């Protein structure tokens, strides 16, 4: 029963789009209602599945999926010509990422309620985007995974180019083409899995049981890892993200930074590191050097920017650097910290972009030097932004602190010298993060208010609802981190086991 | 223990409840309701704290520590079985003392704020934040482990940020709050590093484990800390210094002191609570809490002593010249914190420890809280009346505000160390500890500073309350002392007077660090002459202050004006008056080096170099496309030309058989 419900997750948005096709654009209210209803249903569904998986965590998972602790495992032959299957399933990490996606999509739809342009198409595109993201987080077959992964970049381009602001054509193209570069790197190695694996299978579960040839791993791992890291904006492929985010409409920024950028990190963990643990051990210490840029230089760049979305984009870049720090440390606590950061940063950046979008709708500028004192006119939105800022600078009580401290402690327990040095640099850079966040909040919300903002209004009920939901998610993880850490540990365990089993003395062979 | 458990819950969760209720519901609707909520919440907390203290100190557990409740918050089982960030409630003499002080002062400050914030529109928000501040500090005080300490440490930082910048329409308040947060955050990053390092070496966050360490087993094993491979013992010493840096910033020790005087931009009740009970003593408290650990680490205590002693003198010198009354008090706090800090540091004599300094320091935290809180509240009342912080515009208030006047006198006698007022006892113990610790230079500096303290406090006192009035708000007007604002001042005068006398025995009996893994020195030299020397210094300083600021000759308006005018003073005076230009240096460092230097370079790299490479790639692909398009353009000469060139190449470099 629950397996059926689980399979509905990616299908429902698609269904909603199909249902809406015959409804004329004049009936936009009906269309929006259908979309909100679908997403609410999915949110409830995923919420229920999280709950049921958490309560069932003692019981053995599907044995067909061992060594992974997958629930709701479904395996149906799909393209028999090259042995591609429809394989979906979820463990703790997947289901929590799905929950994150459901929340962000749901709030994203509410945020873009009054978007300018063809609303019917816009909401259909959001739903397609949702389908693809759900699909990525569900699928355990590489072909299926890649199909969903590709679909997402296309929807993203259409939405930015059609509904964005500023240099939307440039930003959209930059984003999509850079992501396409990453995809091409991924695709090249995916074929390798099929042919080099020796079992002619695309299944992640099956492939994890074989040890891939070392000479294949040595070239494939960096290609695959960097391919995924493109969408998580790891240096040197971070340049798409500030322009892309600033051009995108609010909901797309939320989805891109909140969910899509996690897909990359998720892919790095689930596909690259899980399937090629030997190469991961060799290559990851070098990855650590790349993320110095993200973690240390990113916040400094944010200090010098005046545009809210650029600031947030660089903040995302630095926070995602921490995910890679956790991954590269290759310790169980580091991996747990990385996954926590994926989830935490999703809610956090969703809140960031949501409040920025709402403020932008009112002030019509994102330049913080043009604003000031608007806290007086919009206390609710202002507090929402401040909370996002506090969560971003790692204030205890919000999820960011839990994730960051876990990453720091986990990364420092790694024996590698470089990981330790970068950990120290990352800890130092919490000050820089505080600088740009406080500077932004102070310039925008505090001080003297320009007279032209006298007539501004605070958030409507719909907007307040979005902020409240996201803040509650941040608080819930921040105040009760025990259950989520232990829950995530279950899904980290098999991955870490695969990595620790890997024997890198076999490099010569 | 069931009663004590109930008290512990009440102490911790009532302020939190007050924050949540005020912040979400009451604050916007009714400022009075919010105030009542704050006072009741903190008041019940204070009563519970006193009851808890009594029941703990009379039980047979004391002075051992007890953990009332503890639950796992964030476990790191994968690294070490014991490594878990817990949230708990630790009871020992130190934490019980702080609980009483924090809740008591917080209640009084809440009452005071009723009067002070009477005409402020956002008073509700103020009471909410005040409760959050109290809650954070209480959580820090009862922390059972470093992780909990850090959690509440950060919460203290953020709530102080929001309170200092409470009047967010005032640019100076906003920048002061930002400076306070970022400077302490900078120190906190080292604290976090220290926690990470120590917990990695020791495998636990727990204070009881860390304090019970003995250094011997750590000399053998080595550890790689990133830059170098060192013995675990050295790593622990490094960790202890890093942790101390957290306290260094929070307690605003030199050179991270500049945020504290600037934090005066907040409402006065906030300054009062920051300086006496919640924020700045956290640093001293951290060192006291980890005292056994610091004691086994070589030289860490010496560092603490040097930092503390220097700040003590440095701040006292500046306080002698300032004209903003809140700044005078701020520098006086810095100086007193220096006393507490170095007193912890003087305990080490070669490789043994004399714990008298530890006792003296905690005792001074206790007495200082009352008189400093009282002094700030008095300053607030005075500012409320004359509408300025400037000593230029005061004078002659003694007759108009009799209650305030007498309470001020009590607190000033207390901070000056005049017997039998509270400050005398604790300061005397600190001096004695420095003497017994054989740190004679520090002892001499401390004695000198106690004279300076008396001087600047009486300067403060005379210029506010004596002489002729220099304010048009006061001259000829009748002044009514606000009841809500005067009550806490009067209540505080009592402990400011008595707490030293009453609690001396208690501290001597209970206030000893629980587990010390280092030999203690028991027989210490007596020095009966120290109190007399201190009183002598105070008398001399008092006479000097009187001569300059209150003698009939000095109070002639023309002469007074000359005294207060800093522009015609000598260079040294100006240098001190300008606080040795540390604010300016800080701004130059931040604006010129960080913002216009490092950050600008980073942005340049991103905008021109990285984006330049991207643009080049795009350009290159476009040109390549152009080339291909041209090649496919149907131009016959091009086709023929390439055909011929191709054939020739094939002929001469390939194997074309021609």
List pLDDT tens digits, range B535-559. Answer: 999 999 999 999 988 888 877 777 7
From the list A303, A397, A413, which residue is nearest B595 (CB)?
A303
A192/A196 Cα distance (integer angstroms): 5
A244/B548 Cα distance (integer angstroms): 67
Q: How many CB atoms lie within 10 A of CB B402?
A: 12
Q: If you measure CA to CA, which chain A residue comes closest to B181?
A: A434
| Interchain proximity A421–B227, CB inside 8 Å | yes
Distance (Å) from the C-alpha of residue B153 to the closest C-alpha of chain A? 9
Tokens 């476009």 locate to: B622
B526/A310 Cα distance (integer angstroms): 66
Distance (Å) from the C-alpha of residue A174 to the closest C-alpha of chain B? 10
Q: pTM score, two decimals?
A: 0.94
| Interchain proximity B226–A331, CB inside 8 Å | no
- Closest C-alpha among A100, A98, A93 to residue A335: A93
User: Mean pLDDT over residues B268-288, rounded?
Assistant: 91
| DSSP bridge partners of B70 | B88
Q: Say whether residue A451 is in contact with chain B using an 8 A CB cutoff.
A: no
Q: Is B637 exposed, middle or buried (0-12, 13-18, 19+ CB in 10 A)?
A: exposed
Cis peptide before A67 (omega within 30 of 0): yes
At B448-457, the pLDDT tens digits run 999 999 999 9
User: Mean pLDDT over residues A147-167, rounded?
Assistant: 89
Contacts of B604 (CB under 8 A, 6+ apart): none
Q: If you measure CA to CA, which chain A residue comes closest to B158?
A: A395
User: Mean pLDDT over residues B605-620, rounded?
Assistant: 93
* Angle at alpha carbon of residue B445, lines to B276 and B390, rounded to 5°: 50
| Interchain proximity B174–A412, CB inside 8 Å | no
At B315-340, the pLDDT tens digits run 999 999 998 999 999 999 999 999 99
B394/B555 Cα distance (integer angstroms): 13
**3-state SS class at B116:** helix
Residue A323 has pLDDT above 90, yes or no: yes
Q: Say whether residue A424 is in contact with chain B using an 8 A CB cutoff.
A: yes
Radius of gyration for the alpha carbons in chain A, expressed in angstroms and rounded: 22
Where does B106-231 show beta strands of DSSP type E?
Answer: 222-224, 229-231
Name chain A contacts of B615, Cβ cutoff 8 Å: none
Q: If you measure CA to CA, which chain A residue comes closest to B598?
A: A300
A227/B237 Cα distance (integer angstroms): 43
Tell me the ipTM for this assembly. 0.93
Q: Is B591 exposed, middle or buried (0-12, 13-18, 19+ CB in 10 A)?
A: exposed
Q: What is the DSSP letter of B69?
A: E
Two tokens, residue B25: 């519901």
Of A214-228, B521-535, B580-594, minimum mean pLDDT range: B521-535
B87/B75 Cα distance (integer angstroms): 11
Name chain A contacts of B171, Cβ cutoff 8 Å: 446-448
Cα–Cα distances in angstroms (integers) from residue A279 to residues A284, A507, B539, in the given order? 8, 9, 77
Contact between B382 and B391 (Cβ < 8 Å)? no
Cis peptide before B255 (omega within 30 of 0): yes
B382/B395 Cα distance (integer angstroms): 10
**3-state SS class at B467:** coil
Name chain B contacts of A483, Cβ cutoff 8 Å: none
Residue B372 CA from chain centroid, whole number: 14
A474/B299 Cα distance (integer angstroms): 42
A476/B133 Cα distance (integer angstroms): 21
At A108-147, the pLDDT tens digits run 999 988 888 888 999 999 999 999 999 999 999 999 999 9
Distance (Å) from the C-alpha of residue A262 to the closest C-alpha of chain B? 23
Residue B531 has pLDDT above 50, yes or no: yes
Contacts of B88 (CB under 8 A, 6+ apart): B67, B68, B69, B70, B71, B142, B143, B144, B145, B148
Residue A509 has pLDDT above 70, yes or no: no
Contact between B433 and B508 (Cβ < 8 Å)? no
A355/A250 Cα distance (integer angstroms): 9
Residue B564 has pLDDT above 90, yes or no: no
Residue B454 CA from chain centroid, whole number: 23
Name chain B contacts of A434, Cβ cutoff 8 Å: 181-182, 185
Band of residue B515 on the pLDDT scale cut at 50, 70, 90: low
Name chain A contacts of B168, Cβ cutoff 8 Å: 373, 375, 445-447
| Interchain proximity A431–B182, CB inside 8 Å | yes
Cis peptide before A478 (omega within 30 of 0): no
| Interchain proximity B74–A236, CB inside 8 Å | no
| Interchain proximity A434–B224, CB inside 8 Å | no
User: Mean pLDDT over residues A43-66, rounded?
Assistant: 82
From the list A424, A438, A446, which residue is nearest B181 (CB)?
A438
Any alpha helices (H) in A393-460, and if so which ranges? 399-412, 417-445
Band of residue A357 on the pLDDT scale cut at 50, 70, 90: very high
Across chain B, mean pLDDT equals 89
Name chain A contacts of B603, Cβ cutoff 8 Å: 300-301, 304-305
Q: Say whether residue A236 is in contact with chain B using an 8 A CB cutoff.
A: yes
Per-residue pLDDT at A355: 94
Cα–Cα distances in angstroms (integers) from residue A430 to residues A400, B228, B578, in the given order? 12, 23, 31
Number of CB pairs < 8 Å for A and B?
140
B146/B289 Cα distance (integer angstroms): 10
User: Mean pLDDT over residues B95-112, rounded?
Assistant: 93
Q: What are phi and psi of B595, to 5 degrees?
A: -75, -55
| Interchain proximity A300–B75, CB inside 8 Å | no
Residue B16 CA from chain centroid, whole number: 21
User: Mean pLDDT over residues A313-329, rounded?
Assistant: 93
Contact between B244 and B304 (Cβ < 8 Å)? yes
Q: If you measure CA to CA, which chain B residue comes closest to A489?
A: B78
**End-to-end Cα spacing for chain B:** 107
Q: How many CB atoms lie within 10 A of CB B89?
A: 26
Residue B475 has pLDDT above 80, yes or no: no
- Domain borders along chain B are 581-653
Q: What are phi and psi of B70, to 5 degrees?
A: -160, 130
Annotate A304-369 with three-state secondary structure. Answer: HCCEHHHHHHHHHHHHHHHHHHHHHHCCHHHHHHHHHHHHHHHHHHHHHHHHHHHHHHHHCCCEHH
- Closest C-alpha among B578, B575, B585, B595 to residue B256: B585
From the list B74, B158, B611, which residue is nearest A390 (CB)?
B158
How many CA atoms lie less than 13 Å away from A191 in the CB half-sphere? Answer: 5
Q: What are phi and psi of A89, to 5 degrees?
A: 180, 175
| Interchain proximity B79–A331, CB inside 8 Å | yes
Residue B631 has pLDDT above 50, yes or no: yes
Name chain A contacts of B165, Cβ cutoff 8 Å: 442, 446
A249/A360 Cα distance (integer angstroms): 11
Distance (Å) from the C-alpha of residue B501 to the closest C-alpha of chain A? 40
Residue A507 has pLDDT above 60, yes or no: no
At B51-62, the pLDDT tens digits run 999 998 888 877
Residue B122 has pLDDT above 90, yes or no: no
From the list B168, B200, B602, which residue is nearest A301 (CB)?
B602
Tokens 């890649």 locate to: A146
Contact between A98 and A121 (Cβ < 8 Å)? no
Dihedral (C-alpha) B380, B386, B387, B392: value to the nearest 10 degrees?
A: -100
Distance (Å) from the C-alpha of residue B98 to the closest C-alpha of chain A? 22
Q: In chain A, how long is the greatest CA-to-CA distance?
A: 73
Residue B573 has pLDDT above 90, yes or no: no
Q: Is A342 exposed, middle or buried (0-12, 13-18, 19+ CB in 10 A)?
A: buried
Bridge-based pairing state of the strands B352-353 and B84-91: unpaired
At A423-477, the pLDDT tens digits run 999 999 999 999 999 999 988 888 888 888 888 888 889 999 999 999 999 999 9
A121/B108 Cα distance (integer angstroms): 61
Two tokens, residue A349: 């950046």
Bridge-based pairing state of the strands B348-349 and B352-353: antiparallel
A380/A386 Cα distance (integer angstroms): 10
Per-residue pLDDT at A61: 66
Two tokens, residue A503: 């024997």
CB contact residues (below 8 A), chain A span 276-295, against chain B: none
Distance (Å) from the C-alpha of residue B645 to the closest C-alpha of chain A? 35
Name chain A contacts of B586, Cβ cutoff 8 Å: none
Band of residue B131 on the pLDDT scale cut at 50, 70, 90: very high
* Angle at alpha carbon of residue B497, lines to B496 and B499, rounded to 5°: 70
| Interchain proximity A376–B169, CB inside 8 Å | yes
Per-residue pLDDT at B656: 76
| Interchain proximity A428–B189, CB inside 8 Å | yes
Band of residue A506 on the pLDDT scale cut at 50, 70, 90: very low
Residue B520 has pLDDT above 90, yes or no: no
Which H or E run contains B225?
none
From the list B73, B196, B611, which residue is nearest A409 (CB)?
B196
At A285-310, the pLDDT tens digits run 888 999 999 999 999 999 999 999 99
Q: If you measure CA to CA, which chain A residue comes closest to B83?
A: A409
Q: Which long-range contacts (CB under 8 A, 24 or more apart) does A60-63 make?
A: A61/A91, A62/A89
């Amino acid at each position: 029963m629950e397996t059926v419900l689980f399979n509905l997750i990616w299908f429902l948005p698609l269904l909603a789009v199909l249902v809406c096709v015959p409804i004329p654009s004049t009936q936009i209210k009906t269309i929006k209602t259908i979309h909100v209803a679908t997403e609410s249903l999915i949110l409830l569904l995923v919420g229920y599945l999280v709950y049921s998986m958490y309560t069932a965590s003692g019981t053995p998972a599907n044995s067909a999926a061992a060594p992974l602790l997958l629930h709701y495992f479904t395996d149906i032959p799909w393209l028999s010509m090259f042995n591609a299957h429809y394989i979906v399933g979820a463990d703790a990490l997947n289901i929590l990422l799905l929950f994150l996606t459901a929340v962000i999509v749901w709030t994203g739809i509410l945020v873009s309620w009054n978007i300018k342009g063809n609303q019917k198409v816009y909401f259909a595109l959001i739903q397609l985007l949702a389908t693809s993201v759900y699909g990525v987080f569900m699928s355990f077959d590489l072909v299926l995974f890649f199909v969903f992964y590709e679909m997402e970049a296309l929807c993203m381009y259409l939405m930015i180019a059609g509904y964005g602001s500023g240099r939307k054509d440039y930003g959209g193209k930059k984003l999509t083409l850079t992501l396409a570069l990453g995809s091409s790197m991924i695709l090249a190695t995916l074929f390798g899995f099929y042919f080099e694996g020796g079992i002619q299978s695309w299944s992640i579960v099956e492939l994890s049981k074989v040890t891939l040839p070392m000479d294949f791993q040595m070239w494939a791992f960096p290609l695959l890892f960097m391919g995924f890291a493109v969408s998580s904006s790891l240096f040197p492929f971070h340049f798409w993200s500030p322009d892309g985010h600033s051009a995108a409409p609010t909901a797309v920024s939320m989805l891109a930074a909140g969910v899509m950028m996690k897909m990359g990190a998720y892919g790095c963990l689930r596909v690259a590191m899980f399937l090629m643990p030997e190469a991961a051990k060799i290559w990851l210490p070098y990855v650590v050097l790349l993320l110095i840029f993200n973690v240390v230089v990113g916040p400094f760049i944010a200090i010098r920017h005046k545009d809210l979305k650029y600031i947030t984009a660089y903040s995302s870049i630095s926070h995602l650097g921490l995910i890679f720090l956790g991954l590269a440390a290759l310790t169980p606590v580091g991996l747990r910290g990385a996954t926590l950061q994926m989830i935490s940063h999703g809610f956090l950046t969703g809140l960031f972009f949501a409040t920025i979008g709402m403020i932008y709708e009112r002030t019509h500028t994102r330049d913080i030097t043009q604003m000031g004192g608007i806290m007086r006119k919009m206390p609710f939105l202002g507090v929402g932004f401040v909370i996002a800022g506090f969560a971003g600078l790692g204030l205890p009580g919000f999820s960011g602190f839990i994730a960051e401290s876990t990453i720091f402690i986990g990364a420092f327990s790694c024996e590698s010298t470089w990981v330790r040095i970068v950990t120290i640099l990352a800890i130092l850079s919490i000050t820089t993060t505080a600088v740009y966040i406080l500077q932004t909040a102070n310039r925008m919300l505090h001080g003297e208010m320009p007279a032209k903002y006298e007539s501004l209004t605070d958030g409507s009920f719909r907007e307040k609802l979005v902020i409240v939901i996201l803040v509650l998610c941040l608080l819930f993880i921040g105040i009760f981190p025990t259950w989520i850490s232990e829950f995530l540990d279950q899904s980290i365990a098999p991955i870490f086991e695969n990595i620790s089993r890997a024997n890198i003395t076999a490099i010569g062979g | 223990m069931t009663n004590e458990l109930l008290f512990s819950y009440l102490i911790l969760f009532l302020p939190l409840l007050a924050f949540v209720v005020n912040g979400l519901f009451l604050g916007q609707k009714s400022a009075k309701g919010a105030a009542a909520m704050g006072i009741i919440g903190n008041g019940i907390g204070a009563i519970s704290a006193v009851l808890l203290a009594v029941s703990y100190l009379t039980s047979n557990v004391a002075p051992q520590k007890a953990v009332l409740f503890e639950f796992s918050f964030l476990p790191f089982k994968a690294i070490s079985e014991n490594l878990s960030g817990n949230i708990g409630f630790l009871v020992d003499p130190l934490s019980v003392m702080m609980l009483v002080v924090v809740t008591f002062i917080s209640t009084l400050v809440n009452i005071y704020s009723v009067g002070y914030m009477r005409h402020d529109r956002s008073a509700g928000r103020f009471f909410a934040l005040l409760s959050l501040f109290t809650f954070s500090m209480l959580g820090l005080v009862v922390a059972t482990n470093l992780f909990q300490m850090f959690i509440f440490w950060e919460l203290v930082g953020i709530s102080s940020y929001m309170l200092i910048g409470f009047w967010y329409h005032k640019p100076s308040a906003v920048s002061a709050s930002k400076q306070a947060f970022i400077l302490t955050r900078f120190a906190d990053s080292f604290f976090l590093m220290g926690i990470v390092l120590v917990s990695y070496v020791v495998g636990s966050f727990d204070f009881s484990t860390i304090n019970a360490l003995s250094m011997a087993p750590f000399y053998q094993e080595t550890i790689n800390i990133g830059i170098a491979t060192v013995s675990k013992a050295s790593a622990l010493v490094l960790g202890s210094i890093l942790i101390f840096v957290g306290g260094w910033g929070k307690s605003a020790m030199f050179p991270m002191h500049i945020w504290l005087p600037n934090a005066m931009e907040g409402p006065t009740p906030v300054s009062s609570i920051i300086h006496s009970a919640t924020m700045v003593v956290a640093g001293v408290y951290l060192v006291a809490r980890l005292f056994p650990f610091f004691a086994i680490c070589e030289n860490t205590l010496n560092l603490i002593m040097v930092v503390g002693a220097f700040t003590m003198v440095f701040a006292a010198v500046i306080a002698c010249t300032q004209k903003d009354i809140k700044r005078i008090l701020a520098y006086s706090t810095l100086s007193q914190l220096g006393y507490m800090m170095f007193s912890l540091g003087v305990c080490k004599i070669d490789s043994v420890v004399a714990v008298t300094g530890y006792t003296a320091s905690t005792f001074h935290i206790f007495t200082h809280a009352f008189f400093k809180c009282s002094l700030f509240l008095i300053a607030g009342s005075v500012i409320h009346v004359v509408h300025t912080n400037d000593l230029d515009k005061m004078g002659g208030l003694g007759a108009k505000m009799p209650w305030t006047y007498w309470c001020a006198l009590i607190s000033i006698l207390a901070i000056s160390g005049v017997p039998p007022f509270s400050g005398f006892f604790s300061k005397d113990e600190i001096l004695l500890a420095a003497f017994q610790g054989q740190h004679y230079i520090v002892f001499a500096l401390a004695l000198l500073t106690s004279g300076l303290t008396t001087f600047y406090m009486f300067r403060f006192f005379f210029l506010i309350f004596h002489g002729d009035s220099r304010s048009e708000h006061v001259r000829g007007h009748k002044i009514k002392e606000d009841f809500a604002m005067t009550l806490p001042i009067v209540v505080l005068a009592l402990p400011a007077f008595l707490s030293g006398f009453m609690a001396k025995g208690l501290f001597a009996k209970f206030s000893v660090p629980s587990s010390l893994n280092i030999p203690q020195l028991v027989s210490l030299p007596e020095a009966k002459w120290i109190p007399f020397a201190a009183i002598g210094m105070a008398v001399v300083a008092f006479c000097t202050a009187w001569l300059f600021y209150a003698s009939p000759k000095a109070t002639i308006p023309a002469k007074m004006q000359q005294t207060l005018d800093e522009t015609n003073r000598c260079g040294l005076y100006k240098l001190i008056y300008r606080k040795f230009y540390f604010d300016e240096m800080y701004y130059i460092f931040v604006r010129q080096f960080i913002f216009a230097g490092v950050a600008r370079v980073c942005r340049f790299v991103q905008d021109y170099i990285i984006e330049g490479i991207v643009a080049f790639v795009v350009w290159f692909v476009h040109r390549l496309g152009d080339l291909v398009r041209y090649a496919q353009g149907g131009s016959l000469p091009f086709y023929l030309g390439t055909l011929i060139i191709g054939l020739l190449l094939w002929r001469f470099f390939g194997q074309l058989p021609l």
